[in-house]
């Protein structure tokens, strides 16, 4: 859970809910978690034609909603405040580095 806290937009409750809903994160790859959550486009194919539509929404709706809300909280300018710095201090160094590398530039550790 401390690794999730390092990401902007993820609060304590969101991190806990994601940890409970997903369970074992190691069973997913970057491509397979999107399909599990229903975040992949629908597809209508026939012969050589291929049309992609809206996301399928066939997966876990609770986790999908949590991630969408976290993305909205991630949108404002990147500033490392007291709360985020305190979370970074509790997390392993690898999680802190990865969270900082994924964030838009403009802030610092």
Query: pLDDT of 58-86, one tens digit each?
Result: 888 899 899 888 888 877 777 777 887 88
The residue among 107, 56, 65, 90 whose CA lies nearest residue 73 is 65
Q: What is the CA radius of gyration of the chain?
A: 16
State the average pLDDT over residues 88-103. 77
Measured from the Cβ of residue 49, the count of other Cβ atoms closer than 10 Å reads 7
Measured from the Cβ of residue 53, the count of other Cβ atoms closer than 10 Å reads 9
Residues ≥6 apart with Cβ < 8 Å to 71: 9
Assess contact for 102 and 9: CB atoms under 8 A.
no
Higher pLDDT, 80 or 21: 21
> Confidence band (pLDDT; 50, 70, 90) for 11?
confident
Assess contact for 109 and 96: CB atoms under 8 A.
yes
The residue among 16, 20, 56 whose CA lies nearest residue 38 is 56
pLDDT at residue number 107:
45
Residues ≥6 apart with Cβ < 8 Å to 68: none
């Amino acid at each position: 859970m401390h690794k999730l806290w390092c990401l902007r937009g993820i609060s304590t409750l969101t991190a806990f809910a994601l940890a409970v809903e997903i369970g074992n994160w190691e069973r997913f790859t970057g491509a397979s978690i999107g399909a599990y959550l229903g975040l992949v486009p629908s597809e209508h194919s026939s012969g050589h034609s291929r049309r992609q539509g809206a996301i399928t929404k066939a997966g876990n709706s609770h986790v999908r909603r949590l991630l969408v809300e976290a993305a909205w909280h991630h949108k404002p300018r990147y500033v490392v405040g007291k709360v985020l710095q305190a979370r970074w201090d509790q997390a392993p160094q690898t999680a802190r580095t990865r969270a900082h590398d994924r964030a838009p530039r403009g802030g610092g550790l």
